[in-house]
């Protein structure tokens, strides 16, 4: 490519040149097309409602339970109360029970696996169970396998490169 051609390409980036007017024309046509597809002012009103923050106040009251762990009582903007109760399990790890405003209970049970890493089992309010199993790979990094309540499995495999950086490979299977 000659010096003259490179110079002419950079000149096209200057405001007011034919190339910039060409891009401006495309931008204007695109804006008109978007306005025509989305409708008139009704679409912007609906969009404004979507962006608008919910009114009301949520309060979170944290306190020390009888076992010395931090519990919480959360009152939502509509008056619903969610309680979080943390307890120390027999294995010394902190477990949690969350009771929602409609009475649903979610429990989180942490256990120390045979490899010394913390695994987790979450039981949802509708009885679904999700598990997180952490293992230490041959390279010394922590990998994990997550099984969802509907049977889906996600595997996270971390590997260390020669330069010390860490790559992560996430594989998802199932529903």
| Helix/strand/coil for 156 | strand
Q: Is the pTM of this model over 0.75?
A: no
Give me the tens of pLDDT residue by residue for the chain, a chain 175 residues long.
Answer: 444 444 444 444 445 555 555 566 666 677 766 666 665 544 444 455 566 667 889 999 999 999 999 999 999 988 999 999 999 999 899 999 999 999 999 999 999 998 899 999 999 999 999 999 999 988 889 999 999 999 999 999 999 999 989 999 999 998 7
Question: In 10 A of CB 29, how many CB atoms?
Answer: 10
Rounded distance between C-alpha atoms, residue 1 and residue 19, angstroms: 20
Residue 169 CB-half CA count within 13 A: 5
List the domain boundaries for the chain.
3-51, 54-104, 113-175
Q: At a CB cut-off of 8 Å and minimum separation 6, what does 160 contact? A: 139, 140, 141, 166, 167
């Amino acid at each position: 490519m000659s010096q003259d051609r490179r110079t002419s390409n950079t000149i096209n980036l200057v405001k007011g040149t034919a190339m910039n007017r060409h891009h401006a024309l495309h931008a204007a046509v695109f804006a008109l097309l978007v306005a025509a597809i989305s409708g008139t002012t009704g679409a912007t009103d609906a969009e404004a409602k979507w962006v608008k923050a919910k009114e009301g106040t949520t309060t979170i009251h944290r306190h020390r339970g009888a076992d010395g762990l931090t519990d919480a009582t959360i009152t939502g903007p509509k008056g619903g109360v969610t309680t979080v109760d943390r307890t120390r399990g027999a294995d010394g790890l902190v477990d949690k029970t969350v009771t929602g405003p409609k009475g649903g209970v979610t429990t989180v049970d942490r256990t120390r696996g045979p490899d010394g890493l913390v695994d987790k089992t979450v039981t949802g309010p509708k009885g679904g169970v999700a598990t997180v199993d952490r293992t230490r790979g041959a390279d010394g990094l922590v990998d994990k396998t997550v099984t969802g309540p509907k049977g889906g499995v996600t595997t996270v495999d971390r590997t260390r490169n020669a330069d010390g950086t860490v790559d992560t490979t996430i594989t998802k299977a199932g529903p």
